Structure 1
């Protein structure tokens, strides 16, 4: 029966092969995205851009928080209590959303 199944599903072999390749690429991309060494390099790059004047302090803080969030909550889903809306941050004491400065 295995030979018959193999012969009947032979036309789907390229699809199965492509699916396997896509899964492997996805796994490797996630490993690189959440690798602490890569995150550290990104943070160092942000610090260098701030020192060179390419980034404002506000943009630096926002980009730094986004990079650190990848380490804290892999998968990109907002953590509990986050609004998921850009430009909003939780207030430290009140727990209410507040707008970033300059908006």
Structure 2
């Protein structure tokens, strides 16, 4: 982009900066959401809730399927080593 383009777009600099910040936050949130270690920890907590009688078998199955889907997506994407944030 040339000098004239930069000058004309200068009033939009705060918007461009805000969009960059939003993209960074979304990328970090996605990294945490699909972190294999976090998903495995959620699976362990889910099993503890089932054993404690806090949830039914049907709810356990539904939530377990969701977590296993997240784990599968994380492993397909190759996100992390499984040693990251555990929430």
Give the TM-score band, short-chain normalised: 0.7 to 0.9
Aligned length: 74
Matched, 1:36 2:27: no
1:48 shift after superposition: 1.0
Q: Where in structure 2 are there 5+ consecutive unaligned residues?
A: 75-87
Ranked by relative contact order (alpha carbons within 8 Å, sequence separation 6 or more), the top structure is 2
Where does 1:51-66 land on structure 2 (aligned, <5 Å)?
51-66=51-66
Residue by residue, what CA displacement relative to the aligned partner does 1:13-49 show, whole Å, maximum 9, x if unpaired?
0110011001101111111111001101110110111
1:61 shift after superposition: 1.2
In structure 2, the partner of 1:26 is 26
TM-score, normalization by structure 2:
0.76
Where does 1:67-86 land on structure 2 (aligned, <5 Å)?
67-73=67-73
Confirm or deny: 8 A CA contact 2:50 2:56 kept in the other structure.
Answer: yes
Q: Which has the larger radius of gyration?
A: 1
Q: Where in structure 1 are there 5+ consecutive unaligned residues?
A: 75-103
1:8 shift after superposition: 1.5
Alignment RMSD: 1.6
SS at match of 2:41: helix
Counterparts of 1:18 and 1:46, CA distance in 2? 37
Matched, 1:15 2:15: yes
Which structure has the highest helix share of the two?
A: 2
1:71 shift after superposition: 2.1
Which structure has the highest strand share of the two?
A: 1
